[in-house]
């Protein structure tokens, strides 16, 4: 593909992604990109990688690019999207996707005004020739600093205006470092399946096909690989030796401390990433129930379970958090993991579009749902058992405040210090020192190199005898 054709395709995809930030019926960026390229199989792998990298870079730079466009006197119009949203939209001068790509070329990729004009030469499959207004815009943007101190703080940090005060309160002086870390692409983390191999064996398998992998900092089963190798095409993946899973997610499953013979519930299991590790730490012995309100997500995890050699998992689709199944199994489980639906702001490195799709009213609804799910799931815990509450959020109102409110209304549970659980469940596996000196586990990209994760372990008190 000619560089000009890649640029035009980037503009088309960017236009579609911008529409997805407004129209919530459209898929998120990762799914939309997958569908877009699936319908354009003529685009080669190297070209796809170049286009994908550029549009994701635009998503990571989006607030700053839009500020610079407005500062230059240009207000990007709404995206122009056809009814069939995977079709290529018609992009005229000053269209939104086109403007964002031009701004990225000038500010992010430091391409000269002459070269930008050269890419837009109206040849077949190339962008239209720059209009007079676009030429003037490019001249104004070239040589400017994308991270200029002129930018307001929210735009400079690439954060939604409405979340900035809460994140400032959360991180204080560390907010700049955390925001910069969230603007970067996340490293690729793998988890070794202890049912099939140990970490040394997995590293050797990857090395044999030219992939360098190193142990992660905290998880005894974690690996980090360089670049973006085609992991799902590897025999190690097909045979269930490795899974793609962020290190923070691995730690939540390990802190659940599910042991052989226990009765365990993964209450919001989704496609089963944490379920797989719970089954492995249980050595396939005991009863493990994977619950979710989406039967489709549960079914999507079946292949993963088989590939991993897991056979002690039962799947249970729930109508809602207070499904009658919960009432019928009151007090029947030793461990109940609640990986609650949340804003997902801890995963913004991987899903940069998510920050711009989020809305304040949705967060309020999520906090109510988290409270309801935790209260309902707590009924499943047997005396002496544990309730593990987790999110992939950085926000206290989805994390500490949910747990504190729950403990204030249910005297049957107490908060277990993280260091104690870490010592019991991870130290024996060779994990290093506990990453937190508080009662909660709160991981962040800048401090720990993981996605943002939260975890609290609550233990149900034993009844007093006599």
What is the per-residue pLDDT for 454? 97
What is the per-residue pLDDT for 429? 87
Is 462 within 8 Å of 382 (Cβ atoms)?
no
Q: Which two tokens stand for residue 118?
A: 């050269």
Contact residues for 31 (Cβ-Cβ < 8 A; gap 6+): none
Residue 279 has a CB neighbour count (10 Å cut-off) of 28
- The alpha carbon torsion through 159, 161, 166, 168 (nearest 10 deg) reads 60
Is 29 within 8 Å of 20 (Cβ atoms)?
yes
Q: Where are the domains of the chain?
A: 3-151, 183-244, 247-460
Q: CA–CA separation, 59 vs 158, rounded Å?
A: 10
Q: Which two tokens stand for residue 450?
A: 């993981």
Q: CA–CA separation, 465 vs 240, rounded Å?
A: 47
What is the per-residue pLDDT for 123? 76
The residue among 438, 375, 445, 430 whose CA lies nearest residue 254 is 430
Which whole number is the average pLDDT over 269-286? 94
The residue among 334, 315, 316 whose CA lies nearest residue 325 is 316
Q: CA–CA separation, 64 vs 157, rounded Å?
A: 8
Is 208 within 8 Å of 294 (Cβ atoms)?
no
What is the per-residue pLDDT for 197? 96
What is the per-residue pLDDT for 271? 84
Q: CA–CA separation, 394 vs 442, rounded Å?
A: 8
Is 403 within 8 Å of 455 (Cβ atoms)?
no
Which whole number is the average pLDDT over 348-372? 94
What is the per-residue pLDDT for 466? 52
Contact residues for 78 (Cβ-Cβ < 8 A; gap 6+): 22, 96
Given a cut of 60, whether residue 299 has pLDDT beyond it is: yes
Is 299 within 8 Å of 320 (Cβ atoms)?
no
Q: CA–CA separation, 98 vs 65, rounded Å?
A: 12
What is the per-residue pLDDT for 464? 57
Lowest mean pLDDT among 121-130, 185-194, 231-240, 337-346: 121-130
Q: What is the pTM (predicted TM-score) of this model?
A: 0.94
Question: How wide is the angle at C-alpha 358 spanned by C-alphas 357 and 363, nearest 5°?
Answer: 160
Average predicted confidence (pLDDT) for the chain: 93
Architecture of domain 183-244: 2-Layer Sandwich (3.30)
Given a cut of 90, whether residue 212 has pLDDT beyond it is: yes
What is the per-residue pLDDT for 228? 86
The CA-atom distances, in angstroms, between 118 and each of 74, 96, 98, 138, 249 are 22, 20, 15, 12, 46
Overall residue count recorded for the chain in this entry: 466
Residue written as token pair 């939104």: 96
What is the per-residue pLDDT for 465? 56
Residue 393 has a CB neighbour count (10 Å cut-off) of 25
What is the per-residue pLDDT for 27? 87
pLDDT band of residue 428 (cuts 50, 70, 90) is confident
DSSP labels for 118-167?
HH----TTSPPPPPHHHHHHHHHHTT--TT-TTS-HHHHHT--GGGHHHH
Q: How many helices (H) and strands (E) does the chain have?
A: 21, 12
Q: CA–CA separation, 87 vs 252, rounded Å?
A: 40
242-244 β-sheet, strand order? 213-215, 222-225, 188-192, 242-244
What is the per-residue pLDDT for 370? 97
Phi, psi of 454 (to 5 degrees): -130, 145
DSSP labels for 366-418?
HHHHHHHHHHHHHTTEEEEEEEEEEES---GGGTHHHHHHHHHH-TTEEEEPH
Rg (CA), the chain: 24
pLDDT band of residue 253 (cuts 50, 70, 90) is very high
Which whole number is the average pLDDT over 237-241? 96
CATH number of 247-460: 3.40.50.150
pLDDT in tens, 324-335: 999 999 999 999
Contact residues for 247 (Cβ-Cβ < 8 A; gap 6+): 189, 216, 217, 218, 219, 222, 224, 448, 449, 450
Lowest mean pLDDT among 29-33, 81-85, 258-262, 455-459: 81-85
What is the per-residue pLDDT for 375? 97
Q: Is 188 exposed, middle or buried (0-12, 13-18, 19+ CB in 10 A)?
A: middle
pLDDT band of residue 23 (cuts 50, 70, 90) is confident
């Amino acid at each position: 593909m000619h560089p000009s054709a890649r640029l035009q395709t980037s503009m088309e995809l960017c236009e579609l992604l911008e529409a997805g930030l407004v129209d919530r019926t459209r898929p998120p960026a990762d799914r939309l990109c997958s569908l877009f390229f699936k319908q354009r199989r003529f685009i080669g792998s190297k070209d796809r990688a170049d286009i994908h990298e550029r549009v994701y870079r635009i998503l990571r730079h989006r607030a700053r690019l839009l500020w610079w466009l407005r500062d230059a006197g240009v207000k990007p119009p709404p995206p122009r999207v056809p009814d069939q949203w995977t079709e290529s939209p018609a992009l005229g001068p000053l269209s939104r996707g086109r403007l964002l790509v031009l701004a990225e070329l000038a500010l992010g990729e430091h391409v000269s005004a002459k070269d930008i004009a050269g890419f837009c030469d109206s040849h077949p499959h190339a962008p239209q020739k720059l209009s007079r207004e676009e030429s003037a815009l490019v001249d104004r943007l070239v040589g400017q600093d994308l991270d200029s101190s002129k930018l307001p703080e929210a735009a400079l940090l690439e954060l939604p205006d409405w979340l900035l005060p809460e994140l400032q309160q959360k991180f204080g002086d560390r907010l700049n470092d955390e925001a910069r870390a969230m603007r970067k692409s996340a490293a690729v983390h793998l988890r070794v399946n202890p049912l099939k191999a140990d970490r040394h064996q997995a590293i050797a398998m990857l090395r044999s096909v030219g992939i360098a992998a190193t142990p992660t900092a905290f998880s005894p089963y974690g690996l980090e690989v360089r670049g973006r190798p085609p992991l799902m095409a590897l025999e190690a993946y097909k045979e269930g030796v490795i899974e793609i899973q962020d290190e923070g997610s691995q730690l939540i499953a390990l802190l659940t401390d599910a042991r052989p013979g226990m009765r365990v519930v993964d209450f919001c299991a989704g496609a089963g990433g944490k379920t797989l590790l719970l089954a492995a730490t249980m050595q396939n012995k005991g009863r493990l129930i994977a619950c979710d309100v989406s039967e489709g997500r549960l079914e999507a995890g079946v292949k993963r379970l088989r590939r991993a050699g897991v056979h002690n998992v039962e799947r249970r689709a729930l109508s809602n958090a207070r499904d009658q199944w919960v009432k019928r199994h009151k007090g029947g489980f030793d461990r109940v993991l609640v990986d609650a639906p949340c804003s997902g702001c801890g995963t913004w490195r991987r899903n940069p579009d998510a920050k711009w799709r989020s809305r304040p009213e949705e967060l309020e609804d999520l906090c109510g749902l988290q409270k309801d799910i935790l209260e309902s799931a707590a009924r499943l815990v047997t005396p002496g058992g544990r309730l593990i509450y987790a999110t992939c959020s950085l926000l206290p109102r989805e994390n500490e405040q949910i747990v504190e409110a729950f403990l204030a209304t249910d005297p049957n549970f107490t908060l277990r210090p993280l260091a104690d659980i870490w010592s019991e469940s991870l130290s024996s596996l060779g994990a290093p020192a506990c990453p937190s000196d508080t009662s909660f586990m709160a991981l962040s990209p800048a401090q720990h190199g993981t996605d943002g994760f939260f975890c609290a372990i609550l233990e149900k008190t034993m009844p007093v005898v006599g």
